[in-house]
């Protein structure tokens, strides 16, 4: 069964009504959050043997371990739960074989991004006793709800400009988003007030903020800065697909005002029409980029970045592919 946003609350209240659950997607922080919540619901906290954890490559090499774990029982608590991490590779065939057999213990599978043709994902989506839950990066209204919900819970007051700044610079990973918000809560302390100056200082060292630096360096043709920022993000364990997606978002955000400018509006009028609004600290940089590139140039760059993302998803040395495609885009 394919679970959508409307199904989430009901599912999280009772995930054990399904025989097995697959959590997958590019947002590792959100996968961790949902995995933790599910295991808290289905595991016996008093049973030290209540959870069997298996790695995907272990399942691939030793399939019997999965079959044994699904058939095992506990002497002191409820039936054990089996968690297969990184189960989206070749282990997927073993997992499907196990699910085609007799019903066993509750199975939780976590995986990275799986396309719609992936056999494991299709198996979980097509059978009513199985559930597939996608974890994509928070963005737009969803991200704004996460941010506003946290600020409300912590009773932190701020301006709409600050909320939009956070929307623009968080979201690629739920775990990082919550970590940044918790850092903000500690900083404001008992004052419970978050100012624009404070949010810029607090979020400025965030890897996600550097995605804009990467995109603007490419758009404006600053090759040395482009290479420096890309190296830094990769060294900080930034995944090329996530970095490319961040750059795609920046280019897409520039296309709308640039199209308005082609119809006669000036840069200020075009930027004012953007939703979410442009944070005041970003306006000068965006205006420079709009003056430098035409709509066809931005569209060509967008196609290059999307093609690079597809190549990275095919596997291989993704860091090398990313750096090569970034250099090619810079030459364009």
pLDDT tens column, 216-268: 888 888 878 888 888 877 876 677 887 888 788 888 888 888 888 888 888 88
Given the structure tokens 């918000």, which residue do they identify? 181
The answer on pLDDT for 292 being more than 70 is yes
What's the pLDDT score for residue 221? Answer: 80
Rounded distance between C-alpha atoms, residue 174 and residue 153, angstroms? 17
In which band, very low, low, confident or very high, does the pLDDT at 205 lie, cut at 50, 70 and 90?
very low
The H or E element containing residue 2 is strand 2-3
With a cut of 80, say whether residue 57 has pLDDT above it.
yes
Per-residue pLDDT at 208 exceeds 60: no
Closest CA to 178 of 197, 205, 151, 158: 151
**CA 287/CA 267 separation, integer angstroms:** 6
Query: Encoding tokens for residue 173?
Result: 């990973």
185-219 burial string, b = 16+ CB within 10 Å, else e? beebeeeeebeeebbbebbeebbbbbbbbbbbbbb
pLDDT digits (tens, 9 = 90+) for 156-188: 999 988 888 888 777 667 777 887 888 888 888
Q: CB neighbours of 134 closer than 8 A, spacing ≥ 6?
A: 3, 24, 25
Supply 124's token pair: 């979980």
| Phi/psi at 82 (5° precision) | -115, 130
pLDDT digits (tens, 9 = 90+) for 83-110: 999 888 889 999 999 999 888 899 999 9
Q: How far apart (Å, rounded) are the C-alpha atoms in residues 125 and 137?
A: 20
Quote the tokens at residue 128.
């009513």
pLDDT of residue 119: 93
d(CA 182, CA 153): 11
> What is the pLDDT at residue 74?
63
* Cα distance between residue 24 and residue 206, in whole Å: 25
Mean per-residue pLDDT of the chain: 85
Q: What is the pLDDT averaged over residues 203-222?
A: 71
* List of domains in the chain: 2-134 (3.40.50.300), 140-203 (1.10.8), 207-331 (1.20.272.10)
For position 13, what pLDDT does the model report? 93
Q: Is the pTM of this model over 0.75?
A: no
What are 273-285's pLDDT values in tens digits? 777 677 666 778 8
Q: Which residue has the higher pLDDT, 26 or 149?
A: 149
Q: Which of 299, 320, 296, 321 is nearest to 309 (CA)?
A: 321
Assess whether pLDDT exceeds 60 at residue 209.
no
Task: Determine which helix (DSSP H) or strand (DSSP E) holds 174, and give its type and residue range.
Answer: helix 174-188
What are the backbone dihedrals phi and psi of residue 12, each rounded to the nearest 5 degrees, phi first?
-65, -25
């Amino acid at each position: 069964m394919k679970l959508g946003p409307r199904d989430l609350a009901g599912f999280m209240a009772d995930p054990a009504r399904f025989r097995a659950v697959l959590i997958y997607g590019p947002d590792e922080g959100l996968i961790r959050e949902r995995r933790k919540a599910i295991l808290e619901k289905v595991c016996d906290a008093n049973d030290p043997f209540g959870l069997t954890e298996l790695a995907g490559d272990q399942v691939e090499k030793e399939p019997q371990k999965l079959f044994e774990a699904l058939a095992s029982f506990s002497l002191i608590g409820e039936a054990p739960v089996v968690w297969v991490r990184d189960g989206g590779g070749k282990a997927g065939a073993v997992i499907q074989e196990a699910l085609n057999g007799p019903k066993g213990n509750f199975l939780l599978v976590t995986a990275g991004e799986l396309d719609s043709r992936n056999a494991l994902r299709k198996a979980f989506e097509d059978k009513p006793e199985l559930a597939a839950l996608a974890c994509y990066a928070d963005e737009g209204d969803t991200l704004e709800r996460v941010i506003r919900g946290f600020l409300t819970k912590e009773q932190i007051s701020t301006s709409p400009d600050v909320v939009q700044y956070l929307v623009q610079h968080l979201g690629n990973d739920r775990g990082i988003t919550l970590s940044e918000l918790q850092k903000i809560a500690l900083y404001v302390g008992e004052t419970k007030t978050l100012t624009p100056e404070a949010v810029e200082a607090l979020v400025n060292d965030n890897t996600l903020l550097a995605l804009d630096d990467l995109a603007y360096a490419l758009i404006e043709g600053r090759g040395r800065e482009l290479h420096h920022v890309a190296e830094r993000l990769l060294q900080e364990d930034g995944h090329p697909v996530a970095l490319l997606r961040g750059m795609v978002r920046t280019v897409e955000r520039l296309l709308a005002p640039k199209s308005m400018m082609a119809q006669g509006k000036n840069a200020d009028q075009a930027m004012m029409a953007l939703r979410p609004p442009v944070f005041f600290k970003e306006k000068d940089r965006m205006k420079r980029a709009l003056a430098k590139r035409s709509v066809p140039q931005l569209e060509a760059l967008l196609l290059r970045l999307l093609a690079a993302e597809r190549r990275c998803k095919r596997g291989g040395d993704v860091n090398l592919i990313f750096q090569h495609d970034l250099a090619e885009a810079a030459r364009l």
